[in-house]
DNA sequence: CCGAATCCTTTACGATACTG
DNA sequence: CAGTATCGTAAAGGATTCGG
C-alpha cells in the first residue's frame, strides 16, 4: 500500500519536515539516539556546528517536544539533553535515512562528478 | 545493533543529508514515488513552490543521480521526471519520515503550543 | 560550562520578465 | 509547456563578546 502522496497534507507536514530536514537537527537527533549528552559533548561530536546554531537547534527540538533539557545546578553548570519518547520515535526513520546516506555516499558522489563533467 | 552515531562520517554524509533535508527535495521525492511526473504537474502538486525552486530542486536531484529528466521533442514540449533506482531506494526512508510526520503532527503542534505558552 | 546578545556576511528565495 | 535571467529582500549562519 502506497502512502498516497497525492493527498498528503503538505501544509502541516511541511513545518515538521523542515525541522527534520534541518541539517543540524538531523545530526543532533542521530547523536542523541545513543543516550543523553551534554552541550559541549554534542558540540564536539558534531564537527563544524557553531555554539549559536547548536543552541538554536536544541531549542527548536525542545519546543517540538523531541528533546528534554535537564539542568544540574552544579559548579560548573551541567546541562543534559535527551530524546523524549516522541524524539526516539522520530530517531528511527532518521537513523534509517542516515544509514542510507552512508551506504550510498559513493554512488552519489560519483553521480555528481559525472553530472559536473557533462555540464561544464 | 545501533548505527554507531559516534563514528559516522559527518563530513561526507552531511552533503547528502542536506539534500534530503532540503524541504523541497523531500516533497519532490515523495511525489515521484508514485511514478513519473511532468514539470507543471509537480508544480501543482507541491503547493507553494515557485517555478525557480522547482527547477533548482530537480537539477539538484538529477545531479545526485536520484532523478532522470526525459525530454519529448513535441510541441508543446514535454519533460518527464522520474526516480532512478537510487532515488527509489532513498524514497523509502523518506516516505517513512513523511508518514511519521503525518502521524505525529498533532503531538508536535501541541508541544509547540505548550512551549510557547511557557516561554512568552 | 552553558548560554544570550550583538554585529555582519552570505545565502536562499520569491517576483517578474523573457525565450524555444 | 518548460524553462532561463536578473533583481531585491529576507533569512540563515559565523564570529565575537559578555554573563550566571
pLDDT in tens, B56-90: 999 999 999 999 999 999 999 999 999 999 999 99
Q: pLDDT per position in chain A (120 positions), as tens?
A: 333 343 345 556 777 777 776 888 988 999 999 999 999 999 999 988 999 999 999 999 999 999 999 999 999 999 999 999 999 999 999 999 889 988 999 999 999 999 999 987
What residues of chain A lie within 8 A of the CB of B62, using their CB?
A: 115
Q: How far is A22 from chain B (nearest CA, A)?
A: 6
Tell me how close the Cα of A52 comes to any Cα of chain B, in angstroms.
19
Interchain proximity A16–B112, CB inside 8 Å: no
What pLDDT was estimated at residue A9? 52
b/e burial code for range B78-106 (CB count within 10 A of at least 16 → b): eeebebbebbebbbebbbbbbbbbbebee
Buried b / exposed e along B40-50 (16+ C-beta atoms within 10 A): eebbebbeebe
**What is the residue extent of each domain of chain A?**
8-118
Separation CA A83–CA A28 (nearest Å): 10
Chain A nearest-CA residue for B104: A86
For B19-57, the pLDDT digits (tens) are 777 889 989 999 999 999 999 999 999 988 999 999 999
Residue B37 host element (H or E): strand B37-38
Query: Would you state the pLDDT for residue B7?
Result: 39
Residue B6 buriedness (CB in 10 A; 0-12 / 13-18 / 19+): exposed
- CB-nearest partner of A14 from B23, B63, B94: B23
What per-residue confidence (pLDDT) applies to B119? 85
d(CA B69, CA B83): 9
Nearest partner of B34 among B82, B80, B79, judged by Cα: B82
| Interchain CB contact of B46 with A (< 8 Å) | yes
Contact between B29 and B90 under an 8 Å Cβ cutoff? The reply is yes
Distances from the Cα of B34 to the Cαs of B46, B58, B97, in angstroms? 14, 16, 16
Nearest by Cα to A31 from A66, A70, A72, A82: A82
pLDDT score at A5: 40
Residue B116: pLDDT over 50: yes
Dihedral in degrees, nearest 10, Cα atoms A105, A107, A112, A113: 110
* pLDDT band, residue B11 (cuts 50/70/90): low
CATH of domain A8-118: 1.10.10.10
Pick from A32, A54, A91, A107 the residue to mutate for testing the B interface (most B CBs within 10 Å): A107
What's the confidence (pLDDT) of residue B4? 38
Chain A interface includes B85 (CB < 8 A) = no
Query: For residue A18, which of B108, B84, B13 has the smallest C-alpha distance?
Result: B108
Amino acid at each position: 500500500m502506497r502512502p498516497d502522496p497525492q493527498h498528503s497534507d503538505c501544509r502541516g507536514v511541511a513545518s515538521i519536515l523542515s525541522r527534520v530536514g534541518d541539517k543540524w537537527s538531523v545530526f543532533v537527533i542521530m547523536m542523541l539516539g545513543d543516550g543523553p549528552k551534554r552541550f559541549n559533548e554534542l558540540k564536539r561530536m558534531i564537527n563544524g556546528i557553531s555554539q549559536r546554531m547548536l543552541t538554536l537547534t536544541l531549542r527548536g527540538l525542545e519546543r517540538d517536544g523531541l528533546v528534554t533539557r535537564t539542568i544540574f545546578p552544579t559548579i560548573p553548570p551541567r546541562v543534559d539533553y535527551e530524546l523524549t519518547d516522541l524524539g526516539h520515535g522520530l530517531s528511527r526513520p532518521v537513523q534509517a535515512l542516515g544509514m542510507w546516506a552512508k551506504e550510498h555516499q559513493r554512488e552519489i558522489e560519483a553521480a555528481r562528478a559525472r553530472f559536473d563533467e557533462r555540464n561544464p
